[in-house]
């Protein structure tokens, strides 16, 4: 990174009403490079007054933006997608520096997901019944209003575009608060949106910590809806604040997703692909397949396959072409994951691959790890680790496999593997979760994404992500 580029990462302004403005306080947050533990940039802490300015701008822009046709709004969103794609390498490099994902993966996953979120919108707006006749009523669907979008650090760009795409398509205006751990790519997004010429006040960016900026945003009386992605703990706090003013929320929270491998599946393939879904982004993925459920008769075979698959990962610097897994995003996250690993060993879980040794210091690295001899009551099988750690749990029949998959407070993702697709679908329908991959079925940006139970409520993606930001109005004739 050149000196001139580094200077650009020391931000001192926020984006409000189409302008870069200084915050009213003097607080700032340092952003660290997780691969080197060195300074990457700084961002300002927006005060309650700054949040008020952003919300006021969004309120002023709401009437004009929501009056545009859905098709016109979709065209604006397509322009943003194209602008992001034109600077894909810049986004990928910055995201890799913020969170540590190998840069080739940032380009093919982080940026591609964001572009996919937005390019799905123009077609999705055509799939929504914006107005219909019901008896003597005209029922219309209109924007819920000003949306507070609060997003996490693990997929910093995608988590913003997934919300902003749906909200803007619905006719809402937004105030975005990214995570203070990885906010810099969203400042770049604001630059792109500014260059595209989106009407002022439709998109606004504030930054800061949860206690100062986040709570001021959620509690602001001008916010009509809160869309949050992050930890279950933080989601519950946001829900408490929003409930005081009856502000509706959409929550995409934690996960502990199960990959159910039935006895007629290709065990080696299923284990290998499941681990790839666990280890993506160094395990820092909310719907990661962290529980691998296998038939007891094939347990040893699954362990061998897992050990072999884990050994193929190359942990290293995100800009080393040989690296397939980078560091965790922060020192706190690294310690949390290592504590989970040592805790699992202490209660009898057996290490099949990896273990509690941090690697490649400096940097927040953890070895890709697999446990067996795990019981469903162990913390490693129940709590979201958010790191490259998978557990193998044995079952005796399909009924027990389904019970194990459902034995979780979470319900975000999952997978089922079988040589018989009908059998796989039958099992998948009995698992209580938001989405399930059948025999490696690919992610679909147009399908609804979200969870149940402690994984939250609400959906993102395609028309379903637009509908989340719509409300009904009945005109009685």
Catalytic residues: 252, 286
- Residue indicated by tokens 């100062």: 212
Radius of gyration for the chain, computed over Cα atoms and rounded to the nearest angstrom: 22
3-state secondary structure of 225: strand
DSSP code, position 107: I
- Angle at the Cα of 431 (from 428 to 432), degrees rounded to 5? 130
Alpha-carbon dihedral 191, 197, 203, 204, rounded to 10 degrees? 50
Strand partners, 370: 353, 390
d(CA 173, CA 146): 5
b/e sequence 456-466, b meaning 16+ C-beta within 10 Å:
bbbbbbbbbbb
Handedness of CA 224, 227, 230, 231 (dihedral sign): positive
Are the C-beta atoms of residues 212 and 45 closer than 8 Å to each other? yes
Whose CA is closest to 365, among 339, 348, 388, 382?
Answer: 388
Are the C-beta atoms of residues 352 and 303 closer than 8 Å to each other? yes
């Amino acid at each position: 990174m050149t000196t001139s580029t580094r200077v650009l990462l020391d931000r001192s302004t926020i984006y409000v009403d189409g302008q870069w403005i200084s915050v009213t306080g003097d607080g700032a947050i340092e952003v660290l490079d997780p691969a080197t533990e060195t300074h990457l940039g700084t961002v300002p802490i927006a005060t309650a007054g700054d949040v008020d300015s952003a919300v006021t701008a969004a309120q002023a822009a709401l009437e004009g933006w929501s009056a545009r046709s859905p098709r016109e709004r979709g065209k604006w969103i397509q322009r943003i997608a194209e602008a992001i794609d034109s600077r894909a390498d810049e986004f990928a490099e910055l995201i890799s520096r913020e969170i540590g994902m190998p840069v080739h993966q940032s380009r093919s996953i982080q940026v591609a997901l964001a572009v996919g979120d937005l390019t799905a919108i123009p077609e999705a707006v055509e799939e929504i019944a914006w107005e219909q006749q019901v008896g003597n009523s005209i029922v219309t669907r209109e924007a819920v209003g000003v949306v507070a979008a609060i997003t996490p650090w693990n997929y910093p760009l995608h988590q913003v575009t997934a919300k902003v795409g749906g909200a803007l398509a619905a006719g809402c205006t937004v105030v975005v608060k990214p995570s203070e751990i990885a906010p810099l790519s969203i400042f770049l997004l604001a630059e792109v949106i500014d260059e595209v010429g989106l009407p002022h006040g439709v998109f606004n960016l504030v930054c800061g910590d949860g206690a100062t900026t986040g709570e001021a945003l959620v509690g602001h009386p001008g916010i009509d809806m809160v869309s949050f992605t992050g930890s279950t703990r933080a989601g519950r706090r946001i829900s408490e604040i929003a409930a005081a003013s009856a502000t509706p929320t959409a929550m995409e929270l934690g996960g502990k997703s199960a990959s159910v491998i039935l006895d007629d599946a290709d065990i080696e393939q299923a284990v290998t692909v499941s681990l790839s879904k666990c280890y993506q982004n160094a395990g820092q993925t909310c719907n990661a397949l962290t529980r691998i459920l296998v038939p007891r008769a094939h347990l040893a075979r699954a362990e061998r396959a897992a050990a072999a698959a884990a050994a193929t990962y190359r942990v290293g610097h995100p800009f080393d072409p040989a690296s397939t897994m980078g560091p965790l995003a922060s020192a706190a996250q690294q310690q949390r994951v290592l504590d989970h690993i040592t805790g699992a060993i202490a209660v009898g879980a057996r290490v099949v691959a990896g273990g509690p040794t941090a690697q490649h210091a400096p940097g927040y690295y953890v070895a890709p790890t697999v446990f067996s001899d795990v019981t469903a009551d162990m913390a490693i099988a129940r709590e979201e680790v958010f790191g490259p750690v998978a557990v193998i749990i044995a079952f005796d029949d399909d009924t027990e496999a389904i019970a194990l998959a459902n034995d979780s407070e979470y319900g975000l993702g999952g997978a089922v593997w079988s040589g018989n697709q009908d059998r796989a679908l039958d099992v998948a329908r009995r698992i209580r979760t938001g989405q399930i991959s059948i025999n490696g079925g690919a992610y679909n940006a147009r399908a609804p994404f979200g969870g149940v139970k402690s994984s939250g409520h609400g959906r993102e993606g395609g028309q379903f992500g637009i509908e989340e930001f719509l409300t009904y109005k009945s005109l009685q004739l």
